[in-house]
A and B are shown apart, each in its own frame.
Chain A
Amino acid sequence: MAKTYDYLFKLLLIGDSGVGKTSILFRFSEDAFNISFISTIGIDFKIRTIDLDGKKVKLQIWDTAGQERFRTITTAYYRGSMGIMLVYDVTNEKSFENIKNWIRNIEENASADVEKMILGNKCDLEAKRQVSKERGEQLAVEYQIKFIETSAKDSLNVESAFYTLARDIKAKMEKKQEASNPAGARSGGGHQLRANEQQRKPTSWLSRCSLL
């Protein structure tokens, strides 16, 4: 059967236990009387189809199931992944400090050119905050990684974070293609990217969290 998409990106959610990785992937909330079968078992991964500058992009987004507790995430787990969301909890200092350890883990185990992004999650919990947005930004600058604060609870910035990561992976791939095939690739790239930027992901960028 013909392939019906342009790109397929495997993405991982990484970070300390409790920062909200599962919540970023799984939004269901339940009442006391009925238990959702799905929430009992839990989600392993999701497939999402997005449009990036006229290209059909499939995202396969994986949760980390428990391995994070022992930091046993190794080469096998990272295999084939093209993007990693590094998640910390803005109400948990330790989870923020551990981002550096996670980055080291990625450098040791994942492919060298894997695209990364840092998420400061639970930004709805302003009263409990331990990590300022500025410190998140500083860390991101230090590692030259993109950064955004999110709230899985309020669905704030989560979707746009995945768009951003996916767009960066796509840009990197197109750059590579261009390098290996200079004449062919030129027509696509640059200006198209900008043309679509505006109609893309709207309101969530202007959320509470990113304005703080």
Chain B
Amino acid sequence: MSEVEHKEPPVANELKDYIEDGKNKMIVKCKFCGSKILDKNSATFITLQEQLPLMLQDSKQEGEVQSETITDFYHVENMFTFENIGFTHTVANYKYLSCADCDAGPVGYYNMDTKHSYVAISRIVQGDN
């Protein structure tokens, strides 16, 4: 047990209520429609430095994809762990994740090489049901 704890990344204060033993304590849901994305206790908290495209792209700024850096993720090793989720077509070895019910996204990404998925915590909500 203590071994596992060493490997866990430090959890920022505002996330402490949501993470227990390195896992999501609550249900992960879509911010917009509440669709259930992950069951309790099914994903592992991880910190990374990843660029994720913004959900809404300003149509006036043609060509370039507008992104932001995101650090806090839930790591999902098997895609069938997801309750409800959409996978986009592949772009440069990634698929982006979207809400299966309202199509909002990206709420995270999927790496084609490792076949692991990462859900951006800032783009979802967490709750008891």
What is the bound-complex CA distance between A1 and B41, given in angstroms? 12
Is B100 a contact partner of A41 (Cβ separation < 8 A)? no
Q: Quick one: which of B54, B77, B82, B90 contacts A44, CB cutoff 8 A?
A: B90
Q: A37-B57, A38-B103 are in contact. Are A44 and B88 (CB under 8 A)?
A: yes
B-binding segment of A24-32, A163-171, A172-180: A24-32
Label chain B's interface by main secondary structure.
Answer: loop
Complex: A36 Cα to B90 Cα, angstroms:
16
Residues of B within 8 A of A39 (CB): 103
Whole-angstrom CA separation of A26 from B85 in the bound complex: 12
Cα A27 to Cα B105 with chains together (Å): 13
Size category of the binding interface on chain B: 35 or more
Q: Within B85-129, which residues are at the interface with A (CB < 8 Å)?
A: 85-91, 95-96, 98, 100-106
Say yes or no: B53 contacts A34, CB within 8 Å: no
Bound form: Cα–Cα A49–B42 in Å: 14
* Contact (Cβ within 8 A) A43 B80: no
Report if A182 contacts B (CB, 8 A): no
A145: interface (CB < 8 Å):
no
B55 at the interface (CB under 8 A from A): yes
With A and B bound together, what is the CA distance between A45 and B102 in angstroms? Answer: 14
Verify A36–B56 contact, CB threshold 8 A: yes
Q: Which of B79, B82, B100, B106 has the most CB of A within 10 A?
A: B100
Instruction: Determine whether the beta carbon of A43 is less than 8 Å from that of B103.
Output: yes
B85 near A47 (CB under 8 angstroms)? yes
- Report the bound CA distance from A36 to B53 in whole Å: 10
**Known interface pairs A28-B102, A37-B106. Does A44 touch B55 (Cβ–Cβ under 8 Å)?**
no
Which A residues between 37 and 83 are near B, CB-CB below 8 angstroms?
Answer: 37-49, 58, 60, 65
Q: In the complex the two chains form, is B100's CB within 8 Å of A46's CB?
A: yes
Q: For residue B95, which residues in chain A have a CB less than 8 angstroms away from its CB? A: 44
Residues of B within 8 A of A65 (CB): 89
B49 is an interface residue with CB less than 8 A from chain A: no
Decide if B15 is an interface residue (CB 8 Å cutoff). no
Q: Note all chain A residues with C-beta closer than 8 A to B56.
A: 34-37
Chain A's nearest CB lies how many Å from the CB of B48?
19
A37 and B54 within 8 A (CB): yes
Cβ proximity bits B45-60 to A, threshold 8 Å, 1 near / 0 not = 0000000011111110
Chain A residues near B98: list those with CB within 8 A. Answer: 38, 43
A4 contacts the other chain (CB 8 A): yes
| A to B CB contacts below 8 Å, 8 in the list | A5-B80, A8-B80, A32-B59, A37-B56, A38-B103, A44-B88, A44-B89, A48-B100
B residues neighboring A (CB under 8 Å)? 36, 39, 42, 53-59, 65, 77-91, 95-96, 98, 100-106
**19 extra interface residue pairs, beta carbon distance < 8 Å, beyond A4-B81, A41-B96:** A26-B86, A27-B103, A32-B59, A34-B58, A37-B55, A37-B56, A38-B103, A39-B103, A42-B88, A44-B89, A44-B95, A46-B84, A46-B100, A47-B82, A47-B84, A47-B85, A47-B100, A48-B84, A49-B36
Contacts from A to B (Cβ < 8 Å): 1, 4-5, 8, 25-28, 32-49, 58, 60, 65
